[in-house]
Amino acid sequence: MDSVVPTTPDQDPRRTERVHPDHADLDLLDAAALVQVLVLDQQDALNAVQAAAPALARAVEAALGRLNAGGRLVYAGAGTSGRLGVLDATELTPTFSWPPERAVPLIAGGERAIRQAVEGAEDDEEAGALDAQAVQIGPLDVLIAVAASGTTPYALGAVRAAKEAGALAIALANNPGTPLLHAADCPILLDTGPEVISGSTRLKAGTAQKIALNTLSSALMVRLGKVYGNLMVDVKSTNAKLEDRAVRLVRHATGADEATAKAVLDSAGGSVKTALVMLRLDVTAAEAEARLAAAGGHARTALEEGTVGVDS
């Protein structure tokens, strides 16, 4: 059987839209070979994020001042990119007790688009601008616009409105030299190249976006004092699993036995961070909270163990 190959050269300047030159017989592979191809191609996603590490670090530093001053993280995207933004925004509250009103996801087509495609929504640049304006984006806010193509009108509209309002605009795109990257204050290129299934950017382009968003938001939360060492001390205990995790974190950080950890957590209102300061310094919950407030929420600073952001 002949291979299926393009009859004309692929001229699309967006590499994510090109036909992958190595997989013209993808539909002829058995399950084992097909899975191997799809899995190995994901390595390009990690490589792309590693290459973007300096740009990600610059975005973290640029965003910190605004977030420390009370600003919000506002995500904007369409389709897979928009859904990944919704996911990242949603996970910040249970993981880091980040206030939900300070993680605002915007997706082309509205909430319905989270579960189903809303045809044509991504092509409306004005809708992106209006959605950003509707949440009253302002100078303290940080917009994270995500679009594999780097040309999505909805994301471009959100960036335009954000910059007009004085917000910081960060952009993630999987194609170099695209309008979204040119428009952003902090452009982050995730150059993943053609997909195994041509144009299906839910594959490695989406994987690279997920890694980059995880990295960006997690780094911000660490620098904002949501972590002690590598312990998730601002975890929000909303179920039995997380309550057990909170006890384990307090025990690990302080050496307390289980009964003591549970008792102190209870008196700390479930706050791991408050409990560990109470146990480490032998102070009351009120004193621990006061120390944390004076330290800007950084447990290590409250414990006088080092300077945040500097290797010890």
Asked whether the predicted pLDDT for residue 288 surpasses 50, the reply is: yes
At 150 the three-state DSSP class reads coil
For the cut 50, the answer to whether the pLDDT of residue 247 exceeds it is yes
17 is catalytic: no
CATH class of 47-223: alpha beta
Judge whether residue 52 has pLDDT over 70.
yes
**Residue with the larger pLDDT of the pair 21 and 293:** 293
Of 117, 120, 174, 113, whose CA–CA distance to 145 is shortest? Answer: 174
Considering only residues 282 and 16, tell me which one the structure prediction assigns the higher pLDDT: 282
If one compares 220 and 311, the residue with the highest pLDDT of the two is: 220
Q: Tokens 């001229």 — which residue?
A: 11
The torsion angles phi and psi of 195, rounded to 5 degrees, stand at: -85, 150
Q: Pick the residue with more confidence: 232 or 7?
A: 232
Q: What is the pLDDT of residue 298?
A: 94
Active-site position among 17, 61, 91, 101: 91
Q: Determine the residue type at 264.
A: V
* Tokens matching residue 207: 């994987």
CA pair distance 281, 288, nearest whole angstrom: 8
- The CA-CA-CA angle for residues 299, 98, 289, to 5°, reads 35
Secondary structure E strands in 132-280: 142-147, 168-173, 186-189
Least confident of 37-51, 100-114, 128-142, 158-172: 100-114
What global pTM score does this model have?
0.89
**Residue 116 pLDDT grade (very low, low, confident, very high; cuts 50, 70, 90):** confident
Residue 47: the pLDDT is 97
Average pLDDT of the chain to the nearest whole number: 91
Those residues whose C-beta lies under 8 Å from the C-beta of residue 67, and which sit 6 or more positions away, are 73, 140, 142, 220, 224
| Domain boundaries for CATH 3.40.50.10490 within the chain | 47-223
Residues of the chain with CATH 1.10.8.1080: 240-302
List the catalytic residue out of 122, 125, 195, 289.
122
What is the predicted pLDDT for the residue at 190? Answer: 98
Q: What sign does the dihedral 280-282-284-290 (CA atoms) show?
A: negative
Question: CATH number of 240-302: 3.40.50.300, 3.30.360.10, 3.30.420.40, 1.10.8.1080?
Answer: 1.10.8.1080
Is residue 111 part of the annotated active site? The answer reads: no
